Structure 1
Amino acid sequence: MLESKESSGSLRPKARLVHTLGSELISSEDVALVELVKNAYDADATQVTIRFNGPLKSGTGSIEVWDNGHGMTADTVRKVWLDIATPYRKEVITSESGNRRVLGEKGIGRLAASRIAEHSVITTRRTDGTETTFRIDWGQFHRDLYLDEIEVAVVEEQPKVFVSHGEASVVQGESLTESGTVVKMERLLRDWQYTDIANLRLMLERMIPPLPEGVIDSDLQAVFSVELIVPDEISELGGSVSPSDILMLPDYKMAGNVSSDGIAHLTYIERRTGAVEEITINLRVSDDLGDATRLPSCGPLTIDFRAWDLDREAFEAIKPELSQSNIGIRDYRNQIKDHAGLALFRDGFRVQPFGERGYDWLNLDLRRVNSPSLRLSNNQVSGFIFLTADLNPGLRDRSHREGLIDTPEYEDLKQVSLQILAEMESRRYKFRKRLGSGRERRSPGSGLFEKFDLSGLEALAASRKADKELVAAITETAKEVRAATSDLQEILLQFAKSATLSTLVDMVLHEGRTGLMDVDNGVRKLNIVRQRLDTFDLPEVERRIGDSLDSLGNGRALVGSLFDRLSPLAGRKRGRPQKVQLSSLTNPVSQIFAAELARQYTTLSVEVDDATVSVEPIEFQHILINLVSNAMYWVRQRPDSKRKISIRAGRDDGGSIVIYVNDSGPGVPEDKKDLIFDAYVSTREGGMGLGLSIVHTIAVEYYGGAVSVDDDGALPGANFRVVLKKRVS
């Protein structure tokens, strides 16, 4: 019998692990170079120079990254730089000067060079110190070696590079401080084309935001610049990297600070009018159930959002201020799109890939589909969100150094950003309405279909009885227009019905599934009886069948009730107004929402006059469904115990039908009361902007009435007043 033996072993990483960490976890050569620039930033450099030495072909050429930071001693190289995944930066979180929060924490950014070339030669010097040079052949890390079998020779000698009249003085010029580091990456792994360097330049332009002094806190303003040195044939890509001057001339700007308790102090600036508005917002975020009652957890932020209109009118307004006097509208749009996107800056440095062209992390393009009149697309916005590693610890990088981990803090950051962007969007929409470049809503009382009224022309033709042919032509034309108008009204009603039904989809799915669960349960019980019929006596069989039928009956009743409640909305055509009791119109609506109201702990009260009115039931119920659905959304921003909605309906002294839907939500801000009835304009995030527009269309177009937001509701939130005048007696 074998006796037990105990032994030990040790983990020995293969050398190719370094290749995995450096080459495969960094997505592109551009990102690799940015990682090296970030290392220079952590070394307190004020100037970084990236030099391209041709021919920039695979197996030849080189790329060098120079900085004037504090440099390293030979001892630091051996004990820190060569220590892969060193905890040094987690333990020492500020730069040597104490002025910068360091960007690197994982200790693997130095391996980025393995993505670019076959080997690297690093030379570094501290002020008044010796110069240290070491060479790394990245090809060794592809061989079948263990990591501790790879030797790196570290040579310490008298300075020759970082000295006056040395190579560093040629590259860095006046920024030479006789200290610094250069990483020379030789024998490139791939060809570098014109577009590759142009894309790198654009990425570097986005690294430091173009904000003038005083716009954000001074500690976020890093003294840091980057320069490119390129071959003569592409000299236009060389020189100091700076953002396009278009970024300094936005049509709209919203900037300010968000405190850790969700209070935003913002300034809105409108370039073309010179308008400046100070805004304070108490931000709240939604939980998984959609209840917006919680303080954001993302931490304090500094925000600067800039937006542009891309039409010709906006271009002509900005053109005199641009440094490129010969720029055309296509170039104008392309420059904005090149710099578009919402960028995150941690401790003064951009987090990849936030702010990259096409990286729409807030889904602005999809959001705009629902509300094209109001929302901005991703290619119209250039934004800067500033945070710090110390004050925003929940916003953490992914292991591959691009993007943030999906934490609750990150989700809150998205909601906060969208709420602030929405404030800018609503002000932009009002400006464009005044300007006349946006689609304006019809004013109450001057409905769309009134423009098709030819009664005046018919009366004029009737007075010209001598021209019978003209009278007949006008009469026939008027008849055709009335018929076409009726058809158009029917089409709009079907559209309104479809949009209204979309608000009920969640309720239908939830209650329908509940009913089907009862049916499934009944079927399951019957199957058990069938399979075990021989083992049950008759009374047991009868009992089990009875239970099964009860489950089936409950399911059928639930689904049947659901269909009954929806059936009033199923009319295919717009009929003549019917004489009905007001209560018969409001009761089905309250029943439709009963289950959802209970789920969100909302109380609905209905107070209706005992009156007979003449209306089309479907149209009346569409008004109520859209107003109640809107109220149900907004009351979720209140605690459970304060969620209330009331419906009141009756006749006024003039015989018109008046409907009030009042809620305990946050109410409608004064500056948005003239926007919310516009089609495709919604102040709720993700809303399509159709519900209140449908209410307006039915009340004004079909009943010659009006819709307004009143201030005297019994509940403290929004109080919608709808008046129906025509055809209601």
Structure 2
Amino acid sequence: MFGSDDFKDQAVWEFSFRIDDGGFSWDYKFKPPLWKSVVGRTLSKNNDVLLLDASHDEPTDGREETSAVFQSRFLEGIGPIKGVIYGYHQGPEVLKATGNQTQLKNWLRDQTGVRVYRDNVRVFNYGEPSDDWLGLNVRRINRPGDRFGTNSLVAAISLDLESSYLLKEKTNREGFDGGGAFPRFVKLVLSAFERFEHVAIDDRKALDDVIRGKGTAVAPVRFLDAMDSLKAGVKSKNIPKAFQREIDAIEREYTELRDVMVSAGTAGLNLAVIFHEIEREVDALAAAVERKLDEQSIKKQIEQIHYMLHGFAPLLRKNPAKSIFCSEVIEQATRVRKSRFAFHSVVFSAPVLTKEEPDFKIKAAPNLLVGAIGNLLDNAMYWTKVRQELDASNGSRAIRVFDSAQGR
């Protein structure tokens, strides 16, 4: 029978951290079952750079602004944050290796979640079975292999009562009030969880590969390569044509399924941007109406929303491959981000759009290309902010898209 500490010892991952005026410090342990090809390891860093979660880039209560890197002023009214995360792998092979699979599963069912404590007194209802105050499960939908859901984590966040004066508990004692410093608090904690996931990703993949029986030196056989070999074998052995038609049908269905999944994945990555940008434009329109701006200004706001919606529509449709100019792809990807560039004071440059570089055609599904370029632009916007803050630079943030064939 496991004791209370034994359950924690069965965690495959352990991550403890502290966020205070001195910066971000953490310790990481990977403790896999005793399988010969998986090796545990430990890491630690003091005063590390903490990159803030980029899922919401709007200011909260004015202390955070739109920074991409943690600064000590973000702890005002929150105080130092300490946390410990125990991560569990609930695959049957890993659970069996504990020697007490049933007891551990029952314990995880009751204990998983992210709890919050203030002066060692628990703040409810954080960490209850139905609670996901950090949104970990939603984040995991598109990247299940990289993220941890609440049912795989037993975590505790600790605060100091006196220092966390801007975190006000609700009158019914069910968590903190959603305003004030709470959005900052969520962002800081979620950013620490993101660092844990980033540090653990290689170890998680190594463990999953062993469970699936994949050797590290053996590359997986690509589906289309396997189909080519199968077709060649069918032809050389004079197999009846009926089998050839069945093989062609399998390949066709696989390709269709792959294209649908890729399109769905691309749409999913862009949906957050879509809703975020449209909401911002609607807010701007409401503000224009409230300020009783002239009809021309209001009309311009409405046209911008129509313009964005028409730009988003191709991303959500499945398009066949066709020849399309590079300039069209870049123009569609940037069209829906122009207001975002302006909001964040980002200078955007694409020489192919200004005819400074020659245009050229690409044969591909346009919506997938637009989605891919759009994702790169979103990432670039985040990293320009990080670079600006790390370099303590007051210069403009800038993104440039150019043809790599031009020798740059």
Normalised-by-shorter TM-score class: 0.7 to 0.9
Gaps of 5+ in 2: 33-38
Change beyond 3 A, Cα 1:571–1:652: farther
8 Å contact 1:500–1:625 — kept in the other structure? Answer: no
8 Å contact 1:250–1:307 — kept in the other structure? Answer: yes
Shift of 1:306: 1.5
Alpha-carbon deviations, 1:345-392, whole Å to 9, x = none? 444444455555555443434443454333323233222333333444
- The structure with the greater share of residues assigned to helix is 2
Alpha-carbon deviations, 1:174-228, whole Å to 9, x = none? xxxxxxxxxxxxxxxxxxxxxxxxxxxxxxxxxxxxxxxxxxxxxxxxxxxxxxx
Shift of 1:565: 4.0
Give the secondary-structure state (helix, strand or coil) at the position aligned to 1:453.
Answer: helix
Q: Does 1:477 align with 2:246?
A: yes
Shift of 1:615: 1.5
Distance 2:153 2:27 in 1: 17
Shift of 1:433: 1.1
8 Å contact 1:515–1:554 — kept in the other structure? Answer: no
2:146 is aligned, of 374, 380, 404, to: 374
Give the secondary-structure state (helix, strand or coil) at the position aligned to 2:83.
Answer: strand
Gaps of 5+ in 1: 1-241, 320-326, 526-546, 654-713, 715-729
Percent sequence identity over aligned pairs? 18
Alpha-carbon deviations, 1:267-321, whole Å to 9, x = none? 10112244111134333656337543563312223322222222222222322xx
Q: Does 1:606 align with 2:350?
A: yes
Instruction: Look up the match of 1:498.
Output: 267
1:425 is aligned, of 192, 197, 210, to: 197
8 Å contact 2:333–2:371 — kept in the other structure? Answer: no
Once superposed, what is the RMSD of the aligned Cα atoms?
4.1
One-letter amino acid of the structure 2 residue matched with residue 247 of structure 1: K
Q: Does 1:389 align with 2:161?
A: yes
Distance 1:401 1:260 in 2: 29
8 Å contact 1:516–1:555 — kept in the other structure? Answer: no
Instruction: Look up the match of 1:622.
Output: 371
Distance 1:244 1:626 in 2: 44
2:7 is aligned, of 242, 246, 258, to: 246
CA radius of gyration, larger in:
1
Distance 1:347 1:584 in 2: 57
Alpha-carbon deviations, 1:565-619, whole Å to 9, x = none? 45665765303x32x5433332332333212211121121213441433423333
8 Å contact 1:353–1:359 — kept in the other structure? Answer: yes
One-letter amino acid of the structure 1 residue matched with residue 400 of structure 2: S
One-letter amino acid of the structure 1 residue matched with residue 369 of structure 2: F
Distance 1:476 1:391 in 2: 71
One-letter amino acid of the structure 1 residue matched with residue 373 of structure 2: L
Change beyond 3 A, Cα 1:606–1:344: same
Instruction: Look up the match of 2:35.
Output: none
Change beyond 3 A, Cα 1:364–1:555: closer
Distance 1:343 1:571 in 2: 41
Change beyond 3 A, Cα 1:436–1:387: closer
Distance 1:397 1:500 in 2: 34
Instruction: Look up the match of 1:414.
Output: 186
Distance 1:370 1:497 in 2: 10
Change beyond 3 A, Cα 1:603–1:340: same
1:283 is aligned, of 50, 54, 75, to: 50
Distance 1:596 1:629 in 2: 10
Give the secondary-structure state (helix, strand or coil) at the position aligned to 1:304.
Answer: strand
Distance 1:493 1:350 in 2: 43
1:586 is aligned, of 330, 338, 352, to: 330
One-letter amino acid of the structure 2 residue matched with residue 627 of structure 1: L
Give the secondary-structure state (helix, strand or coil) at the position aligned to 1:266.
Answer: strand
Q: Does 1:266 align with 2:56?
A: no
Instruction: Look up the match of 1:292.
Output: 68
2:92 is aligned, of 309, 312, 319, to: 312
Distance 1:564 1:368 in 2: 29
1:450 is aligned, of 211, 221, 224, to: 224
The residue correspondences of 1:19-418 to structure 2 (distance < 5 A) are: 243=4, 245-261=6-22, 263-272=23-32, 273-280=39-46, 281-283=48-50, 287-288=59-60, 291-293=67-69, 295=71, 296-297=74-75, 298-319=78-99, 327=100, 329-354=101-126, 358-395=130-167, 397-398=169-170, 403-406=175-178, 408-418=180-190
8 Å contact 2:17–2:82 — kept in the other structure? Answer: yes
Shift of 1:555: 6.2
Instruction: Look up the match of 1:597.
Output: 341
8 Å contact 1:337–1:380 — kept in the other structure? Answer: no
Shift of 1:645: 1.8
Distance 2:132 2:316 in 1: 39
Alpha-carbon deviations, 1:115-154, whole Å to 9, x = none? xxxxxxxxxxxxxxxxxxxxxxxxxxxxxxxxxxxxxxxx
One-letter amino acid of the structure 1 residue matched with residue 224 of structure 2: E
One-letter amino acid of the structure 2 residue matched with residue 317 of structure 1: A
Output the TM-score relative to the length of structure 2. Answer: 0.73
Alpha-carbon deviations, 1:657-678, whole Å to 9, x = none? xxxxxxxxxxxxxxxxxxxxxx
Change beyond 3 A, Cα 1:243–1:594: same
Q: Does 1:644 align with 2:390?
A: no
Give the secondary-structure state (helix, strand or coil) at the position aligned to 1:607.
Answer: coil
The residue correspondences of 1:4-15 to structure 2 (distance < 5 A) are: none
One-letter amino acid of the structure 2 residue matched with residue 331 of structure 1: Q
One-letter amino acid of the structure 2 residue matched with residue 277 of structure 1: L
Q: Does 1:507 align with 2:277?
A: yes
Distance 2:252 2:172 in 1: 64
Change beyond 3 A, Cα 1:647–1:310: same
Change beyond 3 A, Cα 1:613–1:650: farther
Change beyond 3 A, Cα 1:435–1:599: same
One-letter amino acid of the structure 1 residue matched with residue 401 of structure 2: I
Distance 2:133 2:312 in 1: 38
Distance 1:396 1:373 in 2: 36
8 Å contact 1:611–1:650 — kept in the other structure? Answer: no
8 Å contact 2:82–2:157 — kept in the other structure? Answer: yes
Instruction: Look up the match of 2:232.
Output: 459
Distance 2:4 2:319 in 1: 58
Larger RCO, structure (CA 8 Å, separation 6 or more): 2
Give the secondary-structure state (helix, strand or coil) at the position aligned to 2:402.
Answer: strand
